[in-house]
């Protein structure tokens, strides 16, 4: 009798334990975190339902830490800054770029305080030093775009030959990414990766035109997209675009040679007043001190700077010829 009692207690315990385990597994299958995650993804993937969108495109982070990234996302026009940094090709993110700008402003403020500069000169120094990272990024962007524009005709010729040999358009992009030098190789390789991962061709080429804001590259993107809609010989179209770009670059080189004297004159007239003021200040500091100690001198300096800015803009606008 005692054995039957203990056996009944053991079986009752196992029954209760198995019932609780089964209830937990059933709840976890329908209401648990994994079930909710699957339900959210199915809801997002269902046609025309849900607001969550699943993207396979790698997203750029504005900072290394998630908290700082979320904070930077609240700033206005932060994506334009991120696009500028991306187009320049420098190995910086938005947080590093803004940190360098802030550090430059602080360094300019400390330098102005140590040199006991007047307030208006201190403001100019702070703005100039803080703007050095921006100037560097813009200069890197211009150099990178100039290099890509010079490499683009050879890349289009390579794509045309690859397509005549039987390769698909995506395969020709991969050949450019594998065989061409940087920086055009990385851009075309990234475009091939996007197409290979399932992004539509139009979106991938649009992303390429966004990363490389070049007029010649936009001609290539527009021509390919139109050819995809209307049909035609894409290899011949690429050859024609390559010849057009080469002719434009040749004409641009001729114009740069003819305008070299004007650019040199513009540089001399831009730098000469500041160099002359620095030399006179070294020779006779009391003579130059009247310009920022006397109220009339400050007005004359302000008027001279305004006229110089107008003249500099006018000269650079005259010698800058778009082809």
Instruction: Domains for the chain: give ranges and CATH numbers.
Output: 22-54 (no CATH), 66-130 (no CATH), 141-256 (1.20.81.30), 260-319 (no CATH)
Any alpha helices (H) in the chain, and if so which ranges?
Answer: 2-31, 33-45, 66-73, 78-88, 94-115, 119-130, 132-164, 169-179, 184-196, 201-211, 215-230, 234-258, 260-283, 285-293, 295-319
Provide the 10 A C-beta neighbour count for residue 142: 12
Could you tell me the sign of the dihedral formed by the alpha carbons of 271, 272, 278, 281, in that order?
A: negative
Question: If you average pLDDT over residues 255-262, what whole number do you get?
Answer: 79
Q: What pLDDT score was predicted for residue 4?
A: 61
Cα(159)–Cα(162) distance, rounded to whole angstroms?
5
pTM of the model: 0.65
Looking at residue 30, its pLDDT comes to 66
Higher-confidence residue of 209 and 312: namely 209
pLDDT at 52 (0 to 100): 41
> How high is the pLDDT of residue 40?
55
Q: How far is CA 261 from CA 231, 275, 291, in A?
A: 47, 21, 33
Q: How far is CA 299 from CA 276, 302, 304, in A?
A: 19, 5, 9
Select from 77, 88, 85 the least CA-distant residue to 61: 85
Q: Over 215-259, what HEC string results?
A: HHHHHHHHHHHHHHHHCCCHHHHHHHHHHHHHHHHHHHHHHHHHC
Q: Residue 93: which residues within 8 A CB-CB, separation 6 or more?
A: 60, 61, 62, 63, 64, 82, 85
User: Is the model more confident about 142 or about 45?
Assistant: 142
Residue-wise pLDDT for 124-180, tens only, equals 888 888 888 889 999 999 899 989 988 999 999 999 999 888 888 888 888 998 888
Q: Which residue in the block uniquely carries the two structure tokens 């102005």?
A: 112
């Amino acid at each position: 009798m005692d054995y039957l009692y203990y056996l009944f207690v053991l079986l009752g315990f196992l029954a209760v334990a198995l019932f609780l385990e089964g209830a937990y597994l059933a709840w976890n299958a329908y209401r648990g975190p994994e079930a909710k995650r699957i339900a959210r993804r199915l809801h997002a993937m269902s046609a025309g339902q849900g607001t969550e969108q699943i993207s396979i495109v790698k997203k750029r982070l504005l900072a290394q830490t998630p908290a700082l990234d979320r904070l930077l996302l609240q700033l206005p026009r932060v994506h334009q800054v991120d696009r500028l940094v991306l187009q320049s090709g420098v190995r910086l993110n938005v947080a590093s770029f803004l940190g360098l700008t802030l550090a430059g402003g602080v360094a300019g403020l400390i330098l102005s305080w140590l040199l006991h500069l007047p307030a208006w000169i201190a403001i100019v120094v702070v703005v100039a030093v803080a703007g050095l990272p921006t100037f560097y990024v813009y200069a890197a962007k211009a150099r990178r775009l100039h290099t890509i524009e010079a490499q683009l005709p050879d890349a289009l010729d390579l794509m045309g030959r690859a397509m005549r040999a039987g390769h698909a358009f995506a395969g020709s992009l991969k050949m450019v990414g594998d065989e061409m030098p940087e920086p055009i190789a990385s851009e075309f390789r990234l475009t091939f990766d996007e197409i290979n991962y399932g992004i539509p061709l139009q979106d991938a080429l649009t992303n390429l035109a966004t990363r490389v804001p070049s007029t010649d590259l936009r001609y290539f993107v527009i021509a390919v997209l139109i050819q995809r809609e209307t049909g035609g010989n894409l290899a011949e179209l690429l050859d024609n675009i390559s010849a057009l770009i080469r002719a434009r670059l040749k004409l641009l080189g001729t114009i740069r040679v003819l305008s070299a004297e004007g650019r040199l004159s513009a540089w001399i007239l831009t730098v000469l007043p500041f160099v002359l003021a620095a030399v006179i200040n070294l020779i006779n500091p009391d003579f130059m001190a009247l310009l920022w100690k006397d109220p009339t001198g400050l007005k004359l300096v302000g008027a001279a700077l305004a006229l110089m800015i107008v003249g500099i803009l006018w000269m650079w606008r005259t010698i800058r010829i778009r082809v």
